[in-house]
Structure 1
């Protein structure tokens, strides 16, 4: 019984294998026929179709970035100090005289007091010098007056003796003595005049020297006062406090950063543009800046030559009248008008297509039920549109969905 049963089981296993082989052959045949066919079908609802248009087209280079204050001022410590009080924090709107931080340094007050005392001493010395000079001038004036009186008296005496000499009343010796006395007094008078002039010049020079010392000391007082005043850190101009780099109780060294003030009205835009497109950008081109709530026109003023993270920074000047939400560090989008194309054919840019490139894409026929691969030459990109140089006529329809996987094996599609 066991032998007969074994033969039946073996016959059934062979029959099952034969059926499996036939099924595999049928499946392979069907797959082969499908692969052999160059046509596949796609639903119209599953593809994106665009139509070729003709007209004027603005070539735009898109970018993103932020608004930045055109005018900025870095506030730093003028001398060693300690942060005593923080009055305002980042984001605060400030006026020119707004106090940002108060610092403390007791030595500065002592320096100012010492400088003022020395200045007062020098001024007292000047007053003493002026008094001494006045006294000398008075003494010299009195001496001059005395000599002048003696000289006038000698002149009168000589005139009288000259008459008497002719009459023989005065001896020749006395007459000669009167002449000598008059000449000596005249000489003394001239010397007294010269001394008065020179004394005045000497006094003036001495006072000038004293004044120079006073001016120098006044400069030291002013410097000490400025250092003391600098402990009260003010904004300097109207704007916004963009950054505060200190903490309460922090010790500061001369020149250390305290805060950054930026203007709120005078703003510029810093746009990051792809390095592949920045070659089209030039200074002077118009720029449309989108602040999310409004759009404003600007102009390219500078192009940074450095590439960072595959982008190049483009600086854009903005008008004085800006949208209400415009403020420093606001994220923005921008479109730079790099060229204007006149009367060209264009279409909405297909997926994965770049400017000035060639590609094969599906063009829908007139019956709207088939699409054939067509060689197309593209030109410049303008926002979401791209110029067509060759391969498509006006009003032609093109599948702009990404069908790269089908285009490699199927030159024709059925559309239902």
Structure 2
């Protein structure tokens, strides 16, 4: 007769324990497989663009659209302002250097000129009067010194004769002492006259210098005023084409107001807007290339404007040698600005993903193309076609290059084929 077997505790718990361990292992594997943060998104395969990491030559350039503008422009400003009296030319006219353009009147400036002329005349008269006074004073000093010299000479002669007579007893000693005192008085008077003459000469010389400096300054101011008066009759400073010229007879122009410009009609330059990303890599003398009428032309950076507007800054380019014929102002031309040397590098296509990631990370597609995982990378230079990869990707790996607008906070993508 069979007897039922009694199960031990291990036999009763073995199956539940096996199931629990299996579940725990699956959970651990799932935690290891998903990226940190665990944010996953399902995407359709046809909605993304996948590209491979390749090894190739990175051409370090950026394409630009340059606008043709005159190489040289001279602006016409109403320096002192005034009223438009006569217009000699019309907008768009070809002008030669020195050709009259417009006449402007300014009553205040004319009155100022008249006043300055009066001041100059007054100071010149003062200087002439001072010169006359100096001459008269000098003559007075000479006359006095001449008179004193004569008196001293006579007195010395008389005194010497009396000294001889005094030895013989014919002239009293008291009379000789008086003669000696008078002679010393005349000599002291002569010394004072000489000192007075020296002081007067120094003072009058200083006054003459002061008045001369005043006349010089007033004359310079008068000359400046006359130049401003002459500038009211505006003439072309250079030859060229008169543009932006829109004035009417009787119109009042404010001081410093711009009313036109003269452009070089023959020589041109190109002005282009460059992405601020390249600001640190653009410098004076850098070269660019442009093809026009199937001919290659070389340009160089002439001027860099530091102001950034809408994420772009302006750069002016000039032709190194000959410029193309038949260029027209305002015309736009395609060119390539060479930023650096062309070298071998790991490359990925320059896709829309860069706008969201800044090149700091990218989604790397698995070999089965069913998943893509976020990975940190480091990129270098970029042009319109490729981005240089410095770290984080190997040649042959595949990445997603389409926009990441919906993937910014996602760590893993499940790709539905």
Task: Specify the TM-score bucket, using the shorter chain as the normaliser.
Answer: 0.5 to 0.7
Q: Is the 8 A contact 1:272 1:313 kept in 2?
A: yes
Aligned pairs (5 A) from 1:7-406? 56=57, 58-69=59-70, 72-92=73-93, 97-237=98-238, 240-262=241-263, 268-273=269-274, 278-279=277-278, 282-284=281-283, 285-290=286-291, 295-299=297-301, 302=304, 306-308=308-310, 312-319=312-319, 321-325=321-325, 326=327, 329-339=330-340, 341-342=342-343, 390=396
By how many angstroms is 1:142 displaced?
Answer: 0.9
1:39 is matched with which residue? Answer: none
What are the superposed Cα offsets for residues 325-349 of structure 1, whole Å, 9 maximum, x if unpaired?
45654422221234555568999x9
Q: Give me the whole-angstrom Cα distance separating, in 2, the residues matched to 1:175 and 1:162.
A: 7
By how many angstroms is 1:144 displaced?
Answer: 1.0
Q: Is the 8 A contact 1:303 1:312 kept in 2?
A: no
By how many angstroms is 1:267 displaced?
Answer: 5.3
By how many angstroms is 1:219 displaced?
Answer: 3.6
By how many angstroms is 1:187 displaced?
Answer: 0.9
Unpaired runs of 5+ residues, structure 1, are: 1-52, 361-374, 393-410, 412-416
Q: Give me the whole-angstrom Cα distance separating, in 2, the residues matched to 1:387 and 1:95.
A: 53
SS state at 1:173 partner: helix
TM-score by length of 1: 0.62
Q: Give me the whole-angstrom Cα distance separating, in 1, the residues matched to 2:188 and 2:337.
A: 94
Aligned length, in residue pairs = 323
By how many angstroms is 1:131 displaced?
Answer: 1.9
Q: Is the 8 A contact 2:243 2:260 kept in 1?
A: yes
Q: Is the 8 A contact 2:299 2:320 kept in 1?
A: no
Q: Is the 8 A contact 1:291 1:331 kept in 2?
A: no
Q: Is the 8 A contact 1:81 1:103 kept in 2?
A: yes
2:392 is matched with which residue? Answer: none
SS state at 1:244 partner: coil
What are the superposed Cα offsets for residues 379-403 of structure 1, whole Å, 9 maximum, x if unpaired?
99867899996489xxxxxxxxxxx
Q: Give me the whole-angstrom Cα distance separating, in 1, the residues matched to 2:363 and 2:94.
A: 54
1:4 is matched with which residue? Answer: none
Q: Give me the whole-angstrom Cα distance separating, in 1, the residues matched to 2:307 and 2:109.
A: 46
Q: Give me the whole-angstrom Cα distance separating, in 1, the residues matched to 2:279 and 2:60.
A: 10
SS state at 1:318 partner: strand
By how many angstroms is 1:283 displaced?
Answer: 1.1
Unpaired runs of 5+ residues, structure 2, are: 1-53, 366-371, 373-378, 390-394, 399-416
By how many angstroms is 1:206 displaced?
Answer: 3.1
By how many angstroms is 1:225 displaced?
Answer: 0.8
Q: Give me the whole-angstrom Cα distance separating, in 1, the residues matched to 2:292 and 2:251.
A: 38
Q: Give me the whole-angstrom Cα distance separating, in 1, the residues matched to 2:396 and 2:306.
A: 36
What are the superposed Cα offsets for residues 185-237 of structure 1, whole Å, 9 maximum, x if unpaired?
11111111112212212322332343244234324422331221120223445
Q: Give me the whole-angstrom Cα distance separating, in 2, the residues matched to 1:305 and 1:172.
A: 103
TM-score by length of 2: 0.62
SS state at 1:249 partner: coil
Relative to structure 1, the CA distance from residue 167 to residue 300 in structure 2 (aligned partners, 3 Å threshold; closer, same or farther) is closer
Relative to structure 1, the CA distance from residue 286 to residue 211 in structure 2 (aligned partners, 3 Å threshold; closer, same or farther) is closer
Relative to structure 1, the CA distance from residue 291 to residue 230 in structure 2 (aligned partners, 3 Å threshold; closer, same or farther) is farther
By how many angstroms is 1:151 displaced?
Answer: 0.4
By how many angstroms is 1:175 displaced?
Answer: 1.1
Aligned residues: CA RMSD: 4.4
Relative to structure 1, the CA distance from residue 118 to residue 274 in structure 2 (aligned partners, 3 Å threshold; closer, same or farther) is closer
SS state at 2:59 partner: strand
